[in-house]
Structures are given as C-alpha cells and as structure tokens.
C-alpha cells in the first residue's frame, strides 16, 4: 500500500482578514464546496464557523500555540502552519524555530493586501529580514498571495514586487468574494457577482495552481537551516565588530583632526603676529634732526 506524502507549508500574514480569506478558501477547495454548503473555519464578515470535522479531509491541531491545519487529497497530506505576522515581538524567532522543526518545507506563503498600492515599510523590511535568515534552498520556497484582488488587477507596483525578489510564477492573487461580504446581503446581482468570484475558474483554479506548484517541485530539507542561521549570526557579529572598529578609528581621526586644527590655529596666530610686527618695522618712519 502506497504511503501518503506530506507537504509542509507556512502561512504568514499581518492581517487576520487576509489570512482568514485564504485559509477558508483553501479549506473549501478540499471539501469541493459550493455557495450552498460553504465551510467556515475562521469567522469573517458575518460568516459563522461551521462543523468541519471530517478526518478524511480536514484536521485542525495545535503547534506551540499556532494552528496546524491538515488537508487531505488522495494520497497527499497538505500541512498549513498558521503563523503570526512578522512585525510583532519575537515572531521572527517563532517562524525560524518552526522551520527548523519541520522535516521538509514545501512553501512559505506571505499573504498581503492586494488592494494596496505600496507595501508598509515595516512589513517589507520584516519579509526581507526573514528571507535573509534562509539558506538558498529555503528562499526558493517563498510565495506571495494577494487577497482582496483579482487576477485582472496588478497588485502593488513593479518596483515594490522587485524589492521582495520573488519570481512571478510564485505570486498569486485570490478574490474570494463570498468571504469579503456578509452572506445576509446576497441577493440578485450581488449573488451572481459572488458566484462568479467563487467559481472553479477563479478561486479554486488559483488554489489548484498553487498546490500543483508545490507538489511538482522538490521539497527543501530544513536540516541546513541551523547552519545558515549560525552563518548569518556570525556574519552579523563580524559586521558589528567591524562597525565598532570603524567607530574607534573615526574617533581617533576626529581627535587627531581636532588636535591638528588647534595647532594650525596657533601657528596661524603666530605667523600673523610675526607678519604684523614685520609690517610695522617696514612702515615705521625714520626721523632725522635738522640742524
């Protein structure tokens, strides 16, 4: 009997809404839901939590205070670890420790608000800082998911995307209209618009492309994560020592310059005095007695 294959994925988002939209959409993809029988694990915009207990499709565990979702399809188990954002205290360390604890890694997904034209500086810096901790094999597993947008819209500007150094094939947009509005308001044209936004051609097809991307690529071993972190820390230590030495040299240079400036002022003062005295000797008139 063929054993199941596990794919480990880390989900990171600063905003609960963006995270909930993506996770609810992924869960419904595995359940093959329609608008008539939506599954809601994370309540949002009037959607209340439903009973999703189905060991053949979905499990929810706890991993050191973080949600650990297991979604099953045929002979594959897709693990989604729901991490806090990056800008909070100690969140960076938690993400790194989680990566180190996993046997392999299929993806690290950063969820961003696709309705924004520019990234928050703190979020951009946090993403790049975390990526700086990864070995090359892990960096290749970084994905971007934009919520609150459609595949027809270009999220953010090209300069913003370029600053994150993530390839276009690993950037996805998702517009699950059903989770962006209260179901009590669904009627007439509004319902038709939502049906289009939650059809197989949109949300489900995007999720399927994402899953195919991670299943068709080689999973990354996390065994060299510790070595990479040690190298990063050693590099930071060397840079810090270099900064200290540079400051010491700069301080010495400043002191030398200050001393030299003082000597130069004294020299100029003495030269001026001598010059004035010489000038006075030259222009002093000589008087003779007229007898």
**Domain match, 83 and 215 both:** yes
pLDDT at 192: 67
**Domain match, 96 and 228 both:** no
7 by DSSP, 3-state: which?
strand
Give the range of the structural domain holding residue 150, as residue numbers without chain letter: 5-222
**Domain match, 103 and 170 both:** yes
pLDDT at 80: 95
**Domain match, 167 and 34 both:** yes
pLDDT at 112: 80
Among 177, 196, 222, the domain boundary falls at 222
Contacts of 197 (CB under 8 A, 6+ apart): 150, 175, 176, 177, 178, 203
**Domain match, 157 and 185 both:** yes
pLDDT at 268: 73
Decide if 291 is inside a domain: no
Decide if 28 is inside a domain: yes
**Domain match, 82 and 166 both:** yes
**Domain match, 142 and 117 both:** yes
Strand order across the 66-73 sheet: 58-63, 66-73, 76-83, 5-13, 107-113, 142-147, 171-173
pLDDT at 8: 94
**Domain match, 118 and 141 both:** yes
Decide if 171 is inside a domain: yes
Among 201, 222, 243, the domain boundary falls at 222
pLDDT at 238: 64
**Domain match, 99 and 213 both:** yes
Q: What is the pLDDT along the chain (291 residues), one digit of tens a residue?
A: 457 799 999 998 877 777 888 898 899 899 988 877 889 898 888 888 888 888 889 999 988 888 999 999 888 999 999 987 777 667 778 888 888 888 899 998 988 877 666 777 777 777 777 777 776 777 788 888 887 665 455 556 555 666 666 776 888 877 677 777 777 777 776 666 666 555 545 788 889 999 999 998 887 777 665 555 555 555 555 666 677 777 777 777 777 777 778 777 777 777 767 776 776 666 655 555 554
Domain containing 69 — which CATH number? 3.40.50.300
Among 222, 239, 261, the domain boundary falls at 222
Decide if 109 is inside a domain: yes
28 by DSSP, 3-state: which?
helix
- Helix %, strand %, coil % of the chain (to 5): 50, 20, 30
Decide if 87 is inside a domain: yes
**Domain match, 23 and 51 both:** yes
pLDDT at 291: 47
**Domain match, 246 and 162 both:** no
Decide if 106 is inside a domain: yes
Decide if 167 is inside a domain: yes
**Rounded distance, CA 15 to CA 21, Å?**
10
Domain count, the chain: 2
**Domain match, 179 and 202 both:** yes
């Amino acid at each position: 009997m063929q054993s199941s294959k596990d794919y480990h994925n880390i989900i990171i988002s600063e905003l609960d809404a963006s995270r909930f939209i993506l996770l609810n959409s992924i869960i419904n993809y595995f359940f093959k839901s329609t608008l008539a029988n939506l599954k809601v694990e994370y309540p949002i915009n009037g959607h209340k939590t439903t009973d999703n207990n189905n060991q053949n499709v979905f499990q929810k565990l706890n991993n050191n205070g973080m949600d650990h979702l297991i979604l099953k399809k045929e002979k594959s188990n897709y693990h989604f670890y729901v991490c806090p954002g990056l800008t909070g205290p100690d969140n960076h360390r938690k993400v790194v420790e989680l990566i180190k604890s996993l046997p392999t890694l299929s993806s690290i997904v950063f969820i961003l608000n696709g309705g924004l034209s520019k990234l928050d500086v703190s979020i951009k810096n946090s993403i790049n800082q975390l990526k700086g901790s990864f070995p090359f094999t892990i960096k290749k597993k970084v994905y971007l998911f934009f919520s609150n947008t459609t595949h027809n819209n270009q999220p953010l500007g090209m300069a913003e995307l370029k600053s994150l150094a993530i390839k276009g094939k690993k950037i996805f947009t998702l517009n699950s209209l059903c989770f962006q509005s209260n179901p009590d308001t669904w009627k007439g044209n509004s319902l038709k618009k939502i049906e289009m936004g939650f059809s197989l051609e949109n949300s489900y097809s995007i999720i399927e492309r994402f899953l195919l991307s991670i299943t068709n690529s080689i999973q990354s071993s996390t065994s060299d994560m510790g070595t990479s972190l040690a190298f990063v820390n050693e590099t930071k230590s060397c840079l810090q020592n270099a900064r200290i030495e540079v400051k010491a040299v700069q301080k010495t240079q400043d002191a030398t310059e200050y001393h030299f400036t003082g000597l130069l002022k004294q020299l100029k003062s003495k030269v001026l005095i001598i010059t004035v005295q010489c000038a006075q000797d030259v222009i002093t008139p000589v008087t003779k007695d007229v007898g």
